[in-house]
Chains A and B, each alone.
Chain A
Amino acid sequence: MLKINQLHKSYPIGDSSLHVLKGIDLSVEEGEMVAIMGSSGSGKSTLLNIIGILDEAGEGEYILDGVPIKDLTEKKAAVYRNKFLGFIFQSFNLINYKNALENVALPLYYQGMNRKDRQKLAMFHLEKVGLADWATHLPNELSGGQKQRVAIARALAANPKLLLADEPTGALDTKTSYEIMEFIQQLNDEGKTILMVTHEEDIANMCKRIVRLRDGVIMEDKKVTQVRAEQHV
């Protein structure tokens, strides 16, 4: 699915530069569910952003689904993001003046799908996350858990190969967190490859593999026995 070789990334800070990623090697197969852990400043979010083509790598190689991701034009990057990737953010990142259905339909709009098909497909995904009745509500009329489910529906709408989640439960209480994790686990069961950044041990244990980062290098990369979220709900 994706392959990373000797990835480096540094940010300029004044005259010097901050070396965030210092040679990462990572490969993820299809159908995996990987948690990237680490304390803040360990470089886990930077790694996820590079994988999501939201940021550019400094040195090293990154191959996504057989396509080398290097020196992309903004236009190409937009196409890959739209086709390969679905994003789930800690702060949901819904567009506040669009209702739930319109938010879910947005990636389909950028795929060039016509309005009717778009709305039908968006409605299908909203039903899947159990929010069909909330289709015409604006984000500020929804609870945190509901917002995150709309965001998940949106990430799924374009049928991406890889789902990237940046602290998806970071802004939610424990009960809602487990509900969301239960849903993400279901998606993985259906075959979606999922990569998530988290700093919560219990959330990480609900994945199948944990990669620990410290100071820009991988300290540990191990498979774990998945804890099913429904046991906690």
Chain B
Amino acid sequence: MFDLDLWREIFQSINKNRTRSLLSGFTVTFAILLFTILFGIANGLNNTFKEAFTDDATNSIFIRSGRTTKAHKGLQAGRRIQFKNNDLEYIKKDFDDKVEFITARIYLNVNATFKNEQSTYSVRAVHPDHQYLERTLMKDGRYINTNDLKNKTKVIVIGRLVAEDLFIKTDPLGKYINLNGIQYKVVGIFKDEGNDNEERLIYMPVTTAQQVYGKNDYVDQINLTYKPEMDFNQAIAFGNDLTKKLKDRFNIAKSDQRAIRVFNMANQTKGVNQMTTVLGIIILIIGLGTLIAGIVGISNIMIFIVKERTKEIGIRKALGASPRSIVSIILIESIIITAIAGYIGLLIGMGILEWIGPSLKQYFITNPSVSTSLVISATITLIAAGTLAGYLPAKRASRIKPIVALRND
């Protein structure tokens, strides 16, 4: 039941003992302020990590080739390793149960013209799977497909910024762009969440590039993703196995690090995941520590307050106050002070995060903030802490014999 008189009593007590109320409130405000700021900064660190890895599929493996650095099986050092179409087929067949998507890449630089507009761009000649590997999002039209590959059609998919550069008013879909003297039909426009450079690319079928520019079956790079159900250790083992088999295939010494380079995202992701887990644990410990420090602080203050009010409690009891009314008056006062002070701490903390947030970008802290759910749970924790901290001293106060309390001077 809502007892207006009880609240009046409590607010009078808070108001008339302002120093006491402010001091106890300050402890709570400070604890929550620290809690909010630490949590916000930790969130910011987490955001930075997440942002850095949203671009490409996290289960990717990139394979590149170079020159051998060691003589092996009678072959000299300095031999150039060149991947070809059949290497890709070999990986596809040999690791069929592990590979999810696989694509080749050939890099070209072209001078593109459409009507009077012209500019230079990088071209990647790829397989259709590339779309999933790079997490390319189609804005308009379609991506490279298997028919393009089979028929070696002269089609391209252009990035959003390419379209903006070359086509000022016209819709690029179905138009022809001249790349180094050959006409290509635009069949799609893509966007990419990575960065602007990703949107200045042009994709074409790998077979077309091989026929038009090289008259060979060379491939610059092979990218693949492993099946997502594989865990980190399986993925790392797969990467190692792949490296070993490719080295055997090209007669490369085991210890040769340059001839074939396999870049396995699992190694990276594992590191990042461990890092964020450790970070999360540290955050949790710091957060809990601050809260516990706050709770201990309020408990001390509550014990002090009860001691200070012992005589008043004695007087109230002599005048007929029930133990329950003593408990509620002390407890509710404690809860009100904790809740208000905690809320102020939260607001100040969020304000500070908002204020210093942008300048923290250089310290790898992106958008430091606390979520609404955290705000709510912190407030509930606070009220619970206030209740807990206030209850024991209040209970003890209600049990003091009035004669003992009245003797207290």
What are 22 A-B contacts defined by CB distance under 8 Å? Answer: A54-B318, A54-B406, A78-B317, A78-B320, A78-B322, A78-B323, A81-B318, A81-B319, A82-B320, A87-B319, A89-B406, A91-B409, A94-B315, A97-B16, A107-B319, A107-B320, A110-B316, A110-B319, A110-B322, A110-B325, A111-B320, A154-B319
Q: Mark A143-168, 1 if CB is under 8 A from B, else 0.
A: 00000000000100010000000000
Whether B44 is near chain A, meaning CB under 8 Å from some CB there, is no
Pick from B312, B320, B325 the residue with the most CB of A within 10 Å: B320
Contacting pair A74 B12 (CB below 8 A): no
Whether A110 contacts B321 by the Cβ 8 Å rule is yes
From B4, B311, B319, B401, contact of A55 by CB (8 A): B401
By Cβ-Cβ distance, the 6 closest A-B pairs, closest first, are: A82-B320, A97-B16, A110-B320, A54-B403, A107-B319, A78-B322
Q: Quick check: A74 and B322 within 8 Å, CB to CB? A: yes
Interface positions of B from 112 to 164, Cβ below 8 Å from A: none
Expressed in whole angstroms, the Cα–Cα distance for A95 and B9 within the complex equals 12
CA A96 – CA B140 in complex, angstroms? 79
Known A78-B320, A97-B16; 11 more pairs at CB < 8 Å: A52-B318, A74-B323, A74-B399, A75-B324, A79-B320, A87-B319, A95-B315, A106-B316, A115-B4, A115-B5, A158-B320
Residues of A within 8 A of B398 (CB): 74
Residue of B nearest to A83 (CB): B320
Chain A hits for B8, CB < 8 A: 115
CA gap between A102 and B15 in the complex, in Å: 15
B251 at the interface (CB under 8 A from A): no
Contact A97 B321 (CB under 8 A): no
With an 8 A cutoff between CB atoms, is B17 at the interface?
yes
A109 contacts chain B at the CB level, 8 A cutoff: yes
Residues in B neighbouring A87, C-beta threshold 8 A: 318-319
CB of A93 within 8 A of chain B?
A: yes
CB distance from A115 to the nearest CB of B (A): 6
Contacts of B409 in A (CB 8 A): 91
B390 at interface, CB cutoff 8 A:
no
Is B402 positioned at the interface, with any CB of A under 8 Å from its CB? yes
Q: Is B13 an interface residue (CB 8 A)?
A: yes
Specify the chain A residue showing the minimal Cβ separation from B322: A78
- Interfacial residues of chain A within 59-105, with CB under 8 A of chain B in the complex: 74-75, 78-79, 81-83, 87, 89, 91, 93-95, 97-98, 102
Q: Chain B residue with minimal CB distance to A91?
A: B409
Within the complex, the shortest CB–CB distance from A170 to chain B, in Å, comes to 14
Whether a CB of chain B sits under 8 angstroms from the CB of A49 is yes
Measured CB to CB, the closest approach of chain A to B4, in angstroms, equals 8
Distance A82 CA – B402 CA, assembled complex (angstroms): 13
Q: What is the interface residue range for chain A against chain B? A: 20 to 34
Taking CB atoms, residues of chain A closer than 8 Å to B324 are 75
Which chain B residues in 287-311 approach chain A with CB under 8 Å?
Answer: 311
Cβ–Cβ < 8 Å partners of B323 in chain A:
74-75, 78
Q: If A74-B398, A93-B315, A110-B325 touch, does A98 touch B12 (CB 8 Å cutoff)?
A: yes
CA distance A154 to B320 in the complex (A): 12
Within A37-65, the residues touching B (CB, 8 Å) are: 49, 52, 54-55
Interface size on B, residues (CB 8 A): 29
Residues of B within 8 A of A74 (CB): 322-323, 398-399
Chain A residues contacting B325 (CB-CB under 8 Å) are: 110
List the A residue with the shortest CB-CB distance to B13.
A97
Is there contact, CB below 8 Å, between B401 and A109?
no
Binary contact track B1-42/A, C-beta < 8 Å → 1, others 0: 000110011001100110000000000000000000000000
For B391-409 the 0/1 string (1 means CB < 8 A from A) is: 0000000110111001001
With a cutoff of 8 Å between Cβ atoms, the chain B residues found around residue A79 in the complex are 320, 322
Q: Whole-angstrom distance from the CB of A41 to the nearest CB of chain B?
A: 15
Q: Which residue of A lies closest to B323 (CB)?
A: A74
Q: Write the chain B residue with the least CB distance to A110.
A: B320
* Interchain CB contact (< 8 A) of A49 among B17, B321, B403: B403
Counting chain B CB atoms within 10 Å of each CB, the highest count among A82, A83, A158 belongs to A82
Expressed in whole angstroms, the Cα–Cα distance for A191 and B375 within the complex equals 63
Most chain B C-beta atoms within 10 Å of own C-beta, residue among A49, A95, A106? A95
B233 → A minimal CB distance (Å): 65
Q: Which residue of A lies closest to B409 (CB)?
A: A91
- Quick one: given A97-B13, A97-B16, are A54 and B319 in contact (CB under 8 Å)? no
Least CB distance, B266 to chain A, in whole angstroms = 67
- Give A82 to B320 CA distance when docked, in angstroms: 4
Residues of chain A lying within 8 A (CB to CB) of residue B406 = 54, 89, 93
Cα separation A111 to B318 with both chains bound (whole Å): 13
Residue numbers in B under 8 Å from A97 (CB-CB)? 12-13, 16-17
A78 to B12, Cβ gap below 8 A? no
> In the assembled complex, which residues on chain B have CB atoms less than 8 Å from the CB atom of A107?
319-320
Interface residues of B in 357-409 (CB under 8 A from A): 398-399, 401-403, 406, 409
Interface centre among B314, B319, B325, B406 (most CB of A within 10 A): B319
Please state if B403 and A93 are interface contacts (CB–CB under 8 Å): no
What distance in Å separates the Cβ of B10 from its nearest Cβ neighbour in chain A? 12
Across the interface, A81 reaches (CB within 8 A) one of B5, B12, B17, B317, namely B317
Chain A residues, CB < 8 A from B12: 97-98, 102
Report whether B402 and A75 are in contact in the complex, using a CB–CB cutoff of 8 Å: no
CA A87 to CA B320, docked complex, whole Å: 11
Q: How far is the CA of A45 from the CA of B323 in the complex (A)?
A: 24
Taking the closest CB of chain B, its distance from the CB of A168, in whole angstroms, is: 15
- A55 contacts across to B, CB distance below 8 A: 401, 403
- Docked pose: A78 CA to B5 CA in angstroms: 19
Let me know if A93 and B318 touch, CB within 8 A.
Answer: yes
Closest Cβ neighbor of A92 among chain B residues: B315
Query: In whole angstroms, how far apart are the Cα atoms of A106 and B13 in the complex?
Result: 14
